[in-house]
Amino acid sequence: MIIEKLKLTDGASKAEGVTVIIDVFRAFSVSCYLISKGVKRIYTVGKVEDAFKLRDIYRDAVLIGERHEKKCEGFDFGNSPTHILKGHLEGKTVIHTTSSGTKGISLAVNADEILTGSFVNAKAIAAYLTEKNPAKVSLVGMGYEGKWATQEDDFCADYIENLIENRKTDFEKMVEIIRKGDGARLLDPKNHEHSPATDFDLCLNRDIFNFVLRVKKDRDGINYLEKVIV
């Protein structure tokens, strides 16, 4: 298995093999929490306008997403796991768009298969990849808005790689670096309306889910996330 670590939108476009699109803060942490709450299906789209078009088809769907980390105008929820966990979403269809993670899915056109990546199910991702043992794996850290690399996504790629290769990870050190660095924005009180401080811990709640989320297409070619228990 060749493991290649890539970054940002350019990396997503170049990714080959089984591709893990990583967005720790907060898209693909949110996706896992949504699945844990029993949502019926999560559709992922790259653009806000595509989310509204899709809701014209699925009129009871819940719109979840952000731009510049704030809830998109006209959406039901932003991209906060804290807010998601307080919502009544069991059995709902969700349409999800973000400025990094879901954009990365839409760009990964050269991938053989796409998984979402986050710390909350990183061990399951590593186990899935180890069992599948593809010739190539691409770990893509989407960073901030797909434009600037971030510590949390790069560390998540490192952690998944270490799990696959049976290397130890000083996770606590990673958390402290993130807390003082790129994750500090989540802890800044001026951002707490759209990003409560509790989002930080929820997104770094390592290995709490035993499933991966695999991207599939419905009959109309729309991406959705399929839960695969590992």
Contact 89, 37 (CB under 8 A): yes
Phi then psi for 11, rounded to 5 degrees?
A: -65, -40
Question: Quick check: bond before 26 cis, omega within 30?
Answer: yes
The pLDDT, as a whole number, for residue 178 is: 98
**The domain containing residue 141 runs over which residues?**
2-229
For residue 185, with 0-12 CB atoms within 10 Å meaning exposed, 13-18 middle and 19 or more buried, which class applies?
Answer: middle
The pLDDT, as a whole number, for residue 74 is: 97
- Residue 78 CA to residue 65 CA, distance in Å, equals 5
Number of domains in the chain: 1
Q: What is the CATH number of the domain that holds 23?
A: 3.90.1560.10
- Helices and strands (H and E) in the chain: how many: 10, 10
Pair of tokens at residue 169: 């990870």
The pLDDT, as a whole number, for residue 23 is: 98
Model-level pTM?
Answer: 0.97
pLDDT string in tens for the chain (230-residue length) = 999 999 999 999 999 999 999 999 999 999 999 999 999 999 999 999 999 999 999 999 999 999 999 999 999 999 999 999 999 999 999 999 999 999 999 999 999 999 999 999 999 999 999 999 999 999 999 999 999 999 999 999 999 999 999 999 999 999 999 999 999 999 999 999 999 999 999 999 999 999 999 999 999 999 999 999 99
